[in-house]
Amino acid sequence: MTKERPDVLAKPWKTDANYQAYVQIQAEKTARKRNNMARRIRSLAILLTQKDGRLTNDLDILSIGSRNTFELDELRLAGYRSVTGIDLLSMHPEILPMDMHAMTFPDKSFDALFSCHNLEHAYDLDVCLREWARVTRPGGTWAIELPVRYETCGTDRQDVGGKQGLLYTLYPYIGEILFCEESSANSPAVVRFVGRTKR
**Per-residue pLDDT tens over the stretch 92-132:** 899 999 999 999 999 999 999 999 999 999 999 999 999 99
Sign of CA dihedral 30, 66, 165, 12: positive
With a pLDDT cut of 90, the percent of the chain lying above it is 57
142 contacts 132 by C-beta, under 8 angstroms = yes
Residue 163 has pLDDT above 70, yes or no: yes
Cβ partners under 8 Å of residue 81, min gap 6 = 56, 57
| pTM of the full structure | 0.85
What mean pLDDT, rounded, does the chain reach?
A: 87
Among 31-45, 86-100, 113-127, 176-190, the range scoring the smallest mean pLDDT is 31-45
